[in-house]
């Protein structure tokens, strides 16, 4: 498929539901986050930025739309 036929390019980033390893609470996380994301209830690390894609430390549950 040539570039002329693609009207809107698909984004490489997305939102994910991530479950905390320690307490099990769920949180929505952006895959290309630029800040450190911690759990809202137990304050443990969930996502750490790495320039491009973030390193997800929790359990990925599902993708959001």
Q: Is 41 a member of any domain? A: yes
Q: What is the CATH number of the domain that holds 51?
A: 2.20.25.100
Tell me the pLDDT tens digit for each residue of 2-22.
Answer: 666 767 777 888 999 999 999
Contact 48, 3 (CB under 8 A): no
**Per-residue model confidence (pLDDT) at position 1:** 57
The pTM of the full predicted model, rounded to 2 decimals, is 0.71
Q: For residue 34, what are the domain limits?
A: 11-63
Q: What span, in angstroms and rounded, lies between the C-alpha atoms of 18 and 60? A: 5
Tell me the pLDDT tens digit for each residue of 35-64.
Answer: 999 999 999 999 999 988 999 988 888 776
């Amino acid at each position: 498929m040539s570039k002329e036929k693609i009207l809107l390019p698909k984004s490489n980033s997305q939102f994910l539901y991530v479950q905390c390893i320690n307490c099990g609470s769920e949180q929505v996380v952006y895959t290309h986050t630029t800040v450190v994301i911690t759990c809202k209830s137990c304050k443990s690390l969930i996502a750490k930025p790495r320039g491009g894609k973030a390193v997800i430390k929790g359990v990925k549950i599902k993708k959001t739309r």
